[in-house]
Amino acid sequence: MSRFLNRKYEDLEPYVPGEQPQDQKYLKLNTNESPFPPAQTARKKAAEAAENLNLYSDPDCRILAQKLAERLSEDSGLRLTADNVIITNGSDEVLNFAFMTFCGGDKPAVFPDITYGFYPVFADMNGVPYREIPLDEEFRIDPADYAGAGGTIFIANPNAHTGIALRRAQIEEILTRNPEDLVVVDEAYVDFGAESSLPLLEKYDNLLVIQTFSKSRSLAGGRLGFGVGPKEIITDLQTIRYSTNPYNVNAMTMAAGVGVLEEEEYTRGNCGTIIVNRRYTEERLCAMGFELTDSSANFVFMKYPGVDGGRIYEEMKKRGVLIRHFTKERMAQYNRVTIGSREQMDEFLKVLGEVIEELK
Ligand code: PMP
């Protein structure tokens, strides 16, 4: 720490992203990336955009926002326009904007005790008090626990790191029980088998839905995310974005995003493959004696009774397979494993079988 650091950041504990090792080649199942390359049109459009990198990107992301609004309208049956959409540098950025814009003062943030680890960091970073509501014994969110929560609510649906999804009706219950508070639904993993809350925007003005191009749309390295909500909520977020970094999305990524939307079939096909591979992996893990949560995401959350999750993580890493281990008390027995291609999962299962034989 330098002597120049603003005192308010003295105790800030930064978010620890999943490992991205560059030293050797791992079978990488630790950060929920897609095993499939970006859509061809996305790559082509990004390369074309590179020709004009001497110019700033469009701060309004007009073409992409328009296309996205059209696509989301088709999916949800709503009539959304570009004014209902904010586009950001990954969904982490719009999440941070949501903490900056809608929390603080007498508005704490409220979220589950086990969820995306960035939420408490965003809260701390922005000087926002927060309240964590424990998941139940089976790692489920009970919407009744959020009745009159008294703050801005953040729900990852499906939840990180359990993969367990709430039904749309359960999100609706949270919305109706908190009419004076904003409910932010983080749908990073929604395309792998959960119900989106987007259709609820027709009835509720206290909903902000956040999605990303990083998982189902194979663009994690491009950094592209977005928020969808009532115009007034998006306008508030845009004020913060313009006050922070109007050119937050680079021109190549913006073009790639348009390309992704032009190949919707490719995205849908890849999601279908991941869902099939998840079931395949789950069956084999259960046969090996693992216990799993009921995941609707592109990962599984697994434990082996009597064997420490950290040990499994370490032994897998030694053998060139990266999975994600969290040390937080309630999760210490568990590991989170990204679902990749069938070949990747077969390799993972083979190595895991050897590790379990050794450790059990
Ligand atoms: N929300 C959740 C629940 C996540 O797991 C992640 C990925 N780490 C994100 C948001 C952020 O993803 P990105 O910034 O790549 O869009």
> Would you say residue 2 lies in a domain?
no
Neighbours of 245 (CB within 10 A): 13
333 CA to middle of ligand 1, Å? 23
Q: Are residues 306 and 218 in the same domain?
A: no
Reported pTM? 0.97
Q: Say which residues have a Cβ less than 8 Å from residue 41's Cβ, sequence separation at least 6.
A: 259, 260, 262, 263
Show the ligand 1 pocket: residues with CB < 6 angstroms: 90-92, 116, 156, 160, 186, 188, 212, 214, 220, 225
Q: Which atom of ligand 1 is nearest to the CA of 223?
A: 15
Q: Which atom of ligand 1 is nearest to the CA of 89?
A: 14
The pLDDT of residue 260: 98
235 CA to middle of ligand 1, Å? 22
The pLDDT of residue 21: 86
Q: Are residues 75 and 209 in the same domain?
A: yes
For atom 2 of ligand 1, which residue has the closest CA? 188
Render 29-69 in DSSP notation, one character per residue: -SS---SSPPPHHHHHHHHHHHTTTTSPP-TT-HHHHHHHH
Q: Are residues 229 and 214 in the same domain?
A: yes
97 CA to middle of ligand 1, Å? 14
12 CA to middle of ligand 1, Å? 20
For atom 7 of ligand 1, which residue has the closest CA? 188
Separation in Å, CA 37 to CA 8, 88, 297 = 41, 21, 19
Q: Is the peptide bond before 325 cis (omega within 30 degrees of 0)?
A: no
170 CA to middle of ligand 1, Å? 22
Q: Are residues 214 and 325 in the same domain?
A: no
Residue 174: domain span: 40-262
Q: Which residue of 111, 119, 212 sits with most ligand 1 atoms within 8 Å of its CB, as the best mutation to test the pocket? A: 212
Q: Are residues 353 and 252 in the same domain?
A: no
pLDDT along the chain (360 residues), means of 10: 95 91 90 98 98 98 98 95 98 98 95 97 97 97 97 98 98 98 98 98 98 98 98 98 98 98 98 98 98 98 96 97 93 96 98 96
Closest CA to 150 of 213, 108, 94, 192: 108
For atom 1 of ligand 1, which residue has the closest CA? 188
Relative to beta strand 109-112, strand 152-156 is parallel
Give the count of domains, the chain.
2
- CATH number, domain of 174, equals 3.40.640.10
- CATH number, domain of 339, equals 3.90.1150.10
The pLDDT of residue 18: 87
91 CA to middle of ligand 1, Å? 6
324 CA to middle of ligand 1, Å? 14
Domain boundary among 262, 294, 329: 262
Q: Are residues 146 and 242 in the same domain?
A: yes
Q: Is the peptide bond before 158 cis (omega within 30 degrees of 0)?
A: yes
Q: Are residues 143 and 28 in the same domain?
A: no
179-198 residues labelled b (16+ CB within 10 A) or e (exposed): eebbbbbbbbbbbbbbbbbb
Q: Are residues 44 and 32 in the same domain?
A: no
